[in-house]
């Protein structure tokens, strides 16, 4: 491997000749050999840095044209576009487990954009600190990258995934209208419900989660950029914070704005905690939905067996013909991971000492993992399971008419206590509710038939 010599304030460093990063990135690579190749800084953060660095150059060009010339702006913008597009991912090698402010990742972006920009310009035009980091600090750029990446992940990946599954449930509701089945509470038989009503509960949960997640995403659209080192805006020109937020909005197509209080924006991560709480709410509902589906599909002969789901792969290495609800299991494992991540996000957010939170990389890493896993697991669950759900009407009908809780329909005619006696007698003697009710003398057979209509109990 060939190397070139780069330098920073601490001296000279050898850097791989084919990489755009420079001395500070190389130092971080050597100092933090933790999770190398596995827990690299999320690419969403890398791309967000491309967005904010381009926006900063645009704002500086408007406010400090003598320093951020058109030539510099052009080179920076082109290099940033490549970062945003993911074309320079190989030049961002740093891990999550670095300084808690994300300083090395900020410098990684500065160095890569400067060196690539110089290559585009065909001369030594840009300096990582003086030009790419102009009017900025790691302390305001990393929290800005956190918010940008979180918003893009939520609105561009997670929400479309949720919408996909909502649409599937809407279709299933229509297809299963009028199919009456036994409801269940406490895992015990309950009064009747239609299968479409049951599905509507799943759909409505997702719609509520969607609303709450988007509500939380709005708070993430406030940016710390412009606060620089401690929130005072030192070395940033007046109005930089507003202009840079406008530029980020223009680049992303999202309505970002500058944070009203930069002291809060640098040290507090409450918006991340709030938004991740909404992700946890979605995870909880997906856990419930996936469990409902696998319970209803349990069997095929010794379980509930009220629905069938697609058979995607053999389920056992020893039991021939066995098929398992693997998509449901994947969703439930993702839900557990998200719930664990919520603890990490909350703990990280609590470490805002004085003017800066120094747990930002781990906070963002867990947040983005949660949103990504939820989006991808929902799409997988939809495409490989939910779209193929089929009601087994005969089994639903059998279970419905075998349910002792249909006795609830008799409450208005024989009273709660007599209805309880009827149910207990039917269960103990393994006879029908009608037989038990008539034998106890509560109703005649004719009257029972007149008032007992399970399909009308929904």
Q: Residue 201: inside a domain, yes or no?
A: yes
Q: The domain that contains 16 carries what CATH number?
A: 1.10.275.10
Q: Residue 125: inside a domain, yes or no?
A: yes
Per the CB < 8 A criterion, the answer to whether 147 and 271 are in contact is yes
Q: The domain that contains 368 carries what CATH number?
A: 1.20.200.10
Please tell me the distance from the alpha carbon of residue 24 to that of residue 132, in angstroms, as a whole number: 14
Per the CB < 8 A criterion, the answer to whether 324 and 316 are in contact is yes
Q: Which of 186, 196, 249, 403 is catalytic?
A: 186
Q: Residue 142: inside a domain, yes or no?
A: no
Neighbours of 378 (CB within 10 A): 25
Where does 129-209 show beta strands of DSSP type E?
Answer: 180-185, 188-194
Q: Residue 434: inside a domain, yes or no?
A: yes
One domain for residues 58 and 98: yes
316 labelled catalytic: yes
Predicted confidence (pLDDT) per residue in 146-177, tens digit: 999 999 999 999 999 999 999 999 999 999 99
Tokens at 104, concatenated: 């090395």
Q: Is the pLDDT of residue 210 over 90?
A: yes
Tokens at 169, concatenated: 């449930």
Q: The domain that contains 436 carries what CATH number?
A: 1.10.40.30
Please tell me the distance from the alpha carbon of residue 437 to that of residue 418, in angstroms, as a whole number: 9
Instruction: Output the CA angle 147-75-223, nearest 5 degrees.
Output: 15
Q: Which of 246, 276, 430 is nearest to 365 (CA)?
A: 276
Per the CB < 8 A criterion, the answer to whether 172 and 206 are in contact is no
Per the CB < 8 A criterion, the answer to whether 217 and 202 are in contact is no
* SS3 at position 453: coil
Per the CB < 8 A criterion, the answer to whether 164 and 171 are in contact is no
Q: Residue 236: inside a domain, yes or no?
A: no
Domain end residue (candidates: 340, 370, 391): 391
Please tell me the distance from the alpha carbon of residue 404 to that of residue 401, in angstroms, as a whole number: 8
Predicted confidence (pLDDT) per residue in 43-96, tens digit: 999 999 999 999 999 999 999 999 999 999 999 999 999 999 999 999 999 999
One domain for residues 25 and 126: yes
Per-residue burial over 166-192, b = 16 or more CB atoms within 10 Å of its CB, e = otherwise: bebbeebbeebeebbbbbbeeeebebb
Please tell me the distance from the alpha carbon of residue 381 to that of residue 379, in angstroms, as a whole number: 5
Predicted confidence (pLDDT) per residue in 378-413, tens digit: 999 999 999 999 999 999 999 999 999 999 999 999
Q: Residue 293: inside a domain, yes or no?
A: yes
Q: What is the mean pLDDT of the chain?
A: 97
One domain for residues 101 and 198: no
Q: Is the pLDDT of residue 315 over 90?
A: no
Domain end residue (candidates: 359, 391, 423): 391
Tokens at 106, concatenated: 């900020």
Q: How many domains does the chain have?
A: 3
Residue with tokens 């150059």: 57
Provide the β-strand partners of residue 223: 258
Residue numbers of the domain that contains 169:
149-180+194-221+263-391
Please tell me the distance from the alpha carbon of residue 365 to that of residue 357, in angstroms, as a whole number: 15
DSSP secondary structure string for all residues of 139-152: HHHHHHHHHHHHHH
Q: Is the pLDDT of residue 455 over 90?
A: no
pLDDT (mean) for 213-219: 98
The burial of 200, by beta-carbon neighbours within 10 Å (0-12 exposed, 13-18 middle, 19 or more buried), is given as middle
Q: Which of 7, 204, 316, 453 is catalytic?
A: 316
Predicted confidence (pLDDT) per residue in 232-253, tens digit: 999 999 999 999 999 999 999 9
186 labelled catalytic: yes
């Amino acid at each position: 491997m060939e190397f070139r010599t780069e330098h920073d304030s601490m001296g000279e460093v050898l850097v791989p000749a084919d990489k755009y990063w420079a001395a500070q990135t190389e130092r971080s690579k050597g100092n933090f050999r933790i999770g190398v190749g596995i827990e690299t800084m999320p690419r969403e953060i890398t791309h967000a840095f491309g967005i904010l660095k381009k926006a900063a150059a645009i704002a500086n060009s408007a406010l400090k044209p003598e320093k951020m010339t058109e030539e510099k702006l052009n080179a920076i913008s082109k290099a940033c576009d490549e970062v945003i597009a993911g074309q320079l991912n190989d030049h961002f090698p740093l891990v999550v487990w670095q300084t808690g402010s994300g300083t090395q990742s900020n410098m990684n972006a500065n160095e890569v954009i400067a060196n690539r920009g110089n290559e585009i310009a065909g001369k030594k035009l840009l300096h990582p600190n003086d030009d790419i980091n102009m009017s900025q600090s790691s302390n305001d750029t990393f929290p800005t990258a956190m918010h940008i990446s979180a918003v893009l992940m939520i609105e561009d990946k997670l929400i479309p995934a949720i919408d996909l599954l909502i649409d599937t449930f809407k279709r299933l509701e229509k297809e299963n209208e009028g199919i009456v089945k036994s409801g269940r509470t406490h895992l015990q038989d309950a009064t009747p419900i239609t299968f479409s009503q049951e599905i509507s509960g799943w759909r409505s949960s997702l719609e509520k989660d969607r609303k709450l997640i988007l509500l939380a995403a709005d708070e993430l659209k406030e940016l710390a950029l412009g606060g620089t080192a401690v929130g005072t805006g030192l070395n940033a020109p007046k109005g930089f914070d507003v202009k840079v937020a406008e530029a980020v909005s223009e680049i992303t197509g999202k309505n970002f704005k500058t944070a009203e209080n930069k002291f809060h924006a640098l040290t507090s991560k409450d918006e991340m905690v709030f938004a991740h709480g909404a992700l946890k709410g979605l995870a909880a509902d997906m856990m419930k939905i996936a469990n409902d589906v696998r319970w209803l599909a349990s069997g095929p002969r010794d379980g509930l067996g009220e629905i069938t789901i697609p058979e995607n792969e053999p389920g056992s290495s020893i039991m021939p013909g066995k098929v398992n609800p693997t998509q449901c299991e994947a969703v439930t494992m993702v839900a557990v991971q998200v719930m664990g991540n919520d603890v990490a996000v909350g703990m990280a957010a609590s470490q805002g000492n004085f003017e800066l939170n120094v747990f930002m990389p781990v906070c963002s890493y867990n947040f983005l993992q949660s949103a990504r896993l939820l989006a991808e697991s929902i799409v997988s669950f939809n495409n490989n399971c939910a779209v193929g759900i089929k009601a087994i009407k005969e089994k639903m009908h059998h279970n419905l008419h075998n349910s002792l809780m249909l006795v609830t329909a008799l409450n208005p005619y024989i009273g709660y206590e007599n209805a309880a006696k009827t149910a207990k007698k039917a269960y103990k003697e393994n006879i029908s509710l009608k037989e038990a009710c008539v034998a106890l003398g509560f109703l005649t057979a004719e009257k029972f038939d007149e008032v007992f209509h399970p399909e009308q109990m929904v």
